[in-house]
Structure 1
Amino acid sequence: MNRTFKATVAGLTGVLALTACTSTGAADSESTLSVVAFSVMESANEPVFEAFEESDAGDGIGFAPSYGASGDQSRAVVDGKEADVVHFSLETDVTRLVDEGLVAEDWKDNPTNGIATSSVVVFVVREGNPLGIDSWDDLVQEDVEIVTPNPGSSGAARWNILAAWAHVIGNGGTEKEAQQFVADLLANTPALPPSGREATSAFVEGDQDVLLSYENEAILAKQNGEAIDYIVPEDTLLIENPAAVTTDAKDGAQDFLEFQTSPEAQEIYAGFGFRPVAGVDGVEIPEVEGANDPAAPFPAPGQLWTIDGDFGGWGEAAEKFFADGEDGEPLGIIPTLIEESGADAQE
């Protein structure tokens, strides 16, 4: 049975603003799970927390979530931030914790390969799409101004940039042509907000033409009454967001992690615009208010690129594209292009 699922949120400038920490349910610290997540999960997580608290496994459990840019959140856990469950934009933000002994090496050994939520890269435009933006090539025209977050801190930014790269390479272009395409895209991007959520807020409060974003962010903005539309391009990149428990997690953390990929939780996430992850059976897609077609909210792109299939996995992609030049190592392709572009990489 289809259900219309509307996000119970009150506007981008309020509910969509980042929060350092809120809590639900039980107040006892031993039964309160610290969930450290990337910024765009904030609104969707609240009903998932509530549904878990109402389950047998979640009886007596409460939550103390923290949200921010994915890379910043991961580094904060390394620096001692309390975490029982982590939910990040990128696999590399989890493997950083594996390298530090904070997450077990077998964290991906489950039916979803460690993935808790998924989406695709889309173009968010002003209501009515006044510039007629339709394809990746439209984004590099001289009269187009773009918002995308900073790939130094934001996982969303890395998905966006690699989607642009895959558009060129996947359609027969050379790496030199891909670099030029990304350079032209960055030349149209005057500022790089720190996180995907802050990029959304900057776009809805500003006057730029296009926001590169998760599909779920676009849907949530429309659910909040923002005057935007979005385009799923003919070719785009599959976004897969991993989650894991930490090695010293409290009781209940593993149960919650497993609940996140249950049909019930995936249906809740779908109501906020997230595509159900591969490996979860029995998910009934609800009608999703804010989607281009609420009754069929997740159209299949003509070509869906993947990190594993088209970039050799995040281990290879992170080093090639996003290396930060520490310890005398060369900068990756994207930080080099950002330096050359003069874009304001906000932190």
Structure 2
Amino acid sequence: MNVRGLRPLAAAAVAVVSITARAGSTGTGSDGKVQLSLVAYSTPQAAYEQIIKAYQATPEGKNVTFTKSFGGSGDQSRAVEAGLKADIVAFSLEPDMTRLVKKGLVAEDWNAGPAKGMVTDSVVVIATRKGNPKALKTWDDLTKPGVEVITPNPFTSGGARWNVLAGYGAKSDKGADKQTGVDYLHALFANVPVQDDSARKSLQTFSSGKGDAIIAYENEAIFAQQSNQPLDYTVPDATILIENPVAAAKNSAHPAQAQAFLKFLFTPQAQKIFADNGYRPTTGGVPGASFPKPPALFTIADLGGWEKVTAEFFDPKGSIMAHVERKLGVSIEK
């Protein structure tokens, strides 16, 4: 489904999946090969592995190798800000890209294309044990006594921020009834026994047997099912459109190759790989990409945009989620 029309640290914290040489992003080998560094948030790892293979089978990609680093979106963004080499950066949410724009590491016009720099979409869903034994299908169900809900820490995970805003926006009627939304977040997080630092780690926690439900990306729920995990999921009637940004780094040693790979990510071939991994394409003409549209789907713009939302919800010095977490004794250190 193309919903584009709806739009009007440390390096130690980074989970490095494949590294052959950090120096690989500083030069071209004598054999003409170029090494690009992809720094991305955790959940699209499988999709990017497949996309890279597909790209390397093209004339543009035949001499390109990659190092890959995956982790919590906020951690990854801060690691690049602190000096982690990157040629392509892919995050869960726009503020993690904006941080690098402000530091001069990503061009200000990174979102000038038809897809506004968003390489994939998704929605927030409620996933449960197979058969949904506790009949958890709505936002209100997640605050019932005795229900354990898994969601990551919103001060490290971009996925967690989407989860927070999905629940808040649904219960507050997109912010029209702010107090009801805030009260809901207090009740919801009182039922969260553990907050991992990334969405993928939260899925692993849930898969290990912890919790009755997990708030997650739709694509994470699909990934779990594709991995034969005993899980069901419900797309709430009211939920938020997740928009995931990607860009080439301004200081890439191989700008032409980085831009070529970036362009490939928006092709029908790459977008189909994303769709096969549960992501909603951001470009048209992707065969077999069919996703349900929630009747009360809303966007970050409906809540006032990222600048407003970040200050109101996720400022560690004083915000709605800082208050929620401090009341529970949960760390808000980034």
TM-score by length of 2: 0.89
One-letter amino acid of the counterpart of residue 306, structure 1: T
Post-superposition CA distance 1:47-99 (Å, at most 9, x none): 10011111122120111110000000000001100000000001000110011
Contact 1:186 1:343 (C-alpha < 8 Å) held by counterparts: no
Structure 1 residue 341 displacement after superposition: 2.6
Is residue 301 from structure 1 mapped to residue 294 from structure 2 by the alignment? yes
Is residue 269 from structure 1 mapped to residue 274 from structure 2 by the alignment? yes
Aligned residues: 310
* 1:91 alignment partner, one of 86, 89, 94: 94
Structure 1 pair 341–165 and aligned structure 2 pair: CA distance change class (3 A): same
- How does 1:209-220 map onto structure 2 within 5 Å? 209-220=212-223
1-structure distance, mates of 2:277, 2:110: 26
Question: SS of the residue aligned with 1:305?
Answer: coil
* 1:321 alignment partner, one of 292, 308, 313: 313
1-structure distance, mates of 2:96, 2:324: 22
Structure 1 residue 19 displacement after superposition: 4.6
Structure 1 pair 179–130 and aligned structure 2 pair: CA distance change class (3 A): same
- How does 1:244-263 map onto structure 2 within 5 Å? 244-249=247-252, 250=254, 251-263=256-268
Which residue in 2 is equivalent to 1:22? Answer: 18
Percent identity at matched positions?
42
Contact 1:35 1:85 (C-alpha < 8 Å) held by counterparts: yes
* 2:183 alignment partner, one of 180, 184, 189: 180
Post-superposition CA distance 1:119-162 (Å, at most 9, x none): 10001100000011111111111121000001011000000000
2-structure distance, mates of 1:181, 1:271: 34
One-letter amino acid of the counterpart of residue 47, structure 1: Q
2-structure distance, mates of 1:160, 1:129: 20
Which residue in 1 is equivalent to 2:322? Answer: 335
Deviation beyond 2 Å, 4+ runs, structure 1: 27-30, 341-347
One-letter amino acid of the counterpart of residue 268, structure 1: I
Which residue in 2 is equivalent to 1:118? Answer: 121
Structure 1 residue 208 displacement after superposition: 0.8
Unpaired segments of 5 or more residues in structure 1? 1-17, 287-295, 326-330
1-structure distance, mates of 2:244, 2:39: 13
2-structure distance, mates of 1:242, 1:171: 23
One-letter amino acid of the counterpart of residue 164, structure 1: G
Question: SS of the residue aligned with 1:235?
Answer: coil
1-structure distance, mates of 2:63, 2:300: 39
Structure 1 residue 104 displacement after superposition: 0.8
1-structure distance, mates of 2:326, 2:316: 12
One-letter amino acid of the counterpart of residue 328, structure 2: S
Contact 1:191 1:345 (C-alpha < 8 Å) held by counterparts: no
Contact 1:20 1:66 (C-alpha < 8 Å) held by counterparts: yes
- How does 1:274-293 map onto structure 2 within 5 Å? 274-277=279-282, 280-285=283-288
Which residue in 2 is equivalent to 1:153? Answer: 156
Structure 1 residue 334 displacement after superposition: 1.0
Question: SS of the residue aligned with 2:239?
Answer: strand
Structure 1 pair 152–172 and aligned structure 2 pair: CA distance change class (3 A): closer
Contact 2:72 2:197 (C-alpha < 8 Å) held by counterparts: yes
Contact 2:39 2:69 (C-alpha < 8 Å) held by counterparts: yes
Structure 1 residue 172 displacement after superposition: 8.2
One-letter amino acid of the counterpart of residue 214, structure 2: L
Structure 1 residue 342 displacement after superposition: 3.3
Contact 1:193 1:346 (C-alpha < 8 Å) held by counterparts: no
2-structure distance, mates of 1:118, 1:171: 19
Structure 1 pair 345–188 and aligned structure 2 pair: CA distance change class (3 A): farther
One-letter amino acid of the counterpart of residue 21, structure 1: V
Contact 1:190 1:343 (C-alpha < 8 Å) held by counterparts: no
2-structure distance, mates of 1:332, 1:171: 18
Contact 2:89 2:248 (C-alpha < 8 Å) held by counterparts: yes
Unpaired segments of 5 or more residues in structure 2? 1-13, 29-33
One-letter amino acid of the counterpart of residue 339, structure 1: R
1-structure distance, mates of 2:209, 2:158: 22
Aligned Cα RMSD in Å? Answer: 1.9
Is residue 227 from structure 1 mapped to residue 230 from structure 2 by the alignment? yes
One-letter amino acid of the counterpart of residue 139, structure 1: L
TM-score by length of 1: 0.85
Question: SS of the residue aligned with 1:33?
Answer: strand
Structure 1 pair 196–179 and aligned structure 2 pair: CA distance change class (3 A): same
